[in-house]
């Protein structure tokens, strides 16, 4: 993938191209930013640019070096990933040793650690040797979504490039060009992605729409407040019968819907909501609820999400929230607050 094929983060792209053009590329780089925004693609594009046989700022995508890197078969472009949970010290020691070898067939050896924050402290300390005494023929690129998790001594010895989420338009354009699907699906995926192409490619829209349908039914129940038995059953199902991961996913769907309803209530513009394909349904819900109740439910669910770290009793917490909303109240009583945090 050449520079022109990369989506978004134009400032990072321009900076790297200028460094190549002026022959001042740093020996070690950190690409920091959210998962799924293209950090690995940028790293591979840079590996191709420094090793392309055409010797330009960009890669040709045609020469043997470019093709091998695209295929993951180039001897001098090495991807270091966790073995299990961590990148281990033996992996880093091997990297350090190989970094001092001359390239087998390229201009520079390129080592890509993804994610670099998977190094434990011993592995990170082992990497410092090659960062303090960098070989002229090697380039090290650390990819991370948690820059703060890298040792300060590593951060100080690398040039940091910060990646940001893509715009909705950029994600939509990418999806249209690479994946044929109905336009309504493309628009929905782009908005659900949060500006991360990797996330857009992971989402199963059929699953999302099933969960969204259930969440909409729940919101309609809460808006009318006239069937508390069904609300109790919903709390039991969500709070007791789902795994924690599934529960968090369902909370996320609810919160996305509430965010859209809030936006329609305050701004009234459908263009900036996420669930654009069901805008009329969301407008009806927005009209059925006072703004204060919508905001209150969103706040209660966010508090519940944070309290999951404390092993909160999910079913009881949901019962309290649902019954509170059904009653028309917005703030829990003192007793309800205690029950919300009960383990």
Q: What secondary structure letter does DSSP report for 149? A: G
Asked if residues 234 and 317 have their Cβ atoms less than 8 Å apart, the reply is no
List b or e across 56-67, with b for residues whose CB sees 16 or more CB atoms inside 10 angstroms. Answer: ebbbbbebebbe
Model confidence pLDDT, tens digit, residues 26-54:
999 999 999 999 999 999 999 999 999 88
Report the mean per-residue pLDDT for the chain. Answer: 89
Q: What is the mean pLDDT of residues 94-115?
A: 93
> Does 343 score more than 80 pLDDT?
no
Say yes or no to pLDDT of 75 above 80: yes
54, exposed or middle or buried, with CB in 10 Å at 0-12, 13-18, 19+? middle
Percentage, residues of the chain above pLDDT 70: 95
Give the pLDDT of residue 339.
Answer: 41
pLDDT given for residue 333 in this prediction:
42
pTM for this model (two decimals): 0.85
Task: Tell me what pLDDT residue 116 has.
Answer: 97
Query: pLDDT at position 342, please?
Result: 40
> How confident is residue 331, by pLDDT bands cut at 50, 70 and 90?
low
Q: Would you say residue 329 has pLDDT above 80? A: no
Could you tell me if 231 and 326 are in contact, meaning their C-beta atoms sit under 8 angstroms apart? yes
- Stretch 114-141: mean pLDDT, rounded? 93
Reported as a pLDDT band with limits 50, 70 and 90, residue 212 is very high
- The per-residue pLDDT for 152 is 95
Q: How many residues does the chain have?
A: 343
Q: Which stretch of 3-7, 144-148, 257-261, 282-286 has the lowest confidence by average pLDDT?
A: 3-7
Q: What confidence tens digit (pLDDT) does each residue in 149-177 have? A: 999 999 999 999 999 999 999 999 999 99
Look at residue 40 and give its three-state secondary structure: helix
pLDDT score at 335: 45
| Range name among 112-116, 199-203, 289-293 with the lowest pLDDT average | 289-293
């Amino acid at each position: 993938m050449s520079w022109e094929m990369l989506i978004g983060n134009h400032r990072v792209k321009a900076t790297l191209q200028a460094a190549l053009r002026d022959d001042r590329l740093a020996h070690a780089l950190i690409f920091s930013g959210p998962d799924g925004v293209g950090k690995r693609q940028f790293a591979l594009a840079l590996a191709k640019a420094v090793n392309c046989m055409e010797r330009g700022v960009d890669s040709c995508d045609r020469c043997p070096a470019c093709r091998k890197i695209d295929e993951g078969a180039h001897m001098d472009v090495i991807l270091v990933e966790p073995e299990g949970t961590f990148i281990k010290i033996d992996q880093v020691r091997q990297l350090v040793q190989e970094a001092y070898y001359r390239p087998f067939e390229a201009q520079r050896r390129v080592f890509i650690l993804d994610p670099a924050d998977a190094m434990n402290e011993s592995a990170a300390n082992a990497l410092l040797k090659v960062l303090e005494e960098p070989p002229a023929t090697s380039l090290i690129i650390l990819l991370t979504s948690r820059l703060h998790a890298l040792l300060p001594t590593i951060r100080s010895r690398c040039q940091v490039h910060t990646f940001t989420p893509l715009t909705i338009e950029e994600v939509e354009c990418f999806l249209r060009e690479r994946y044929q699907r109905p336009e309504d699906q493309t628009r929905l995926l782009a908005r659900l992605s949060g500006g991360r192409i990797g996330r857009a490619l992971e989402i199963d829209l059929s699953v999302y729409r099933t969960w969204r349908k259930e969440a909409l039914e729940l919101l309609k129940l809460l808006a009318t407040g006239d069937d508390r038995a069904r609300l109790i059953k919903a709390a039991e199902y969500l709070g007791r019968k789902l795994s924690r991961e599934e529960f968090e996913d369902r909370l996320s769907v609810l919160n996305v819907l509430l965010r859209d309803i809030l936006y329609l209530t305050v701004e009234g513009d459908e263009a900036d909501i996420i669930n654009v394909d069901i805008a009329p349904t969301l407008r009806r819900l927005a009209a059925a609820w006072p703004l204060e109740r919508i905001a209150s439910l969103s706040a209660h669910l966010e508090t519940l999400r944070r309290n999951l770290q404390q092993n909160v009793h999910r079913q009881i917490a949901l019962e309290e929230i649902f019954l509170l909303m059904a009653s028309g109240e917005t703030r829990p009583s003192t007793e309800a607050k205690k029950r919300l945090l009960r383990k």
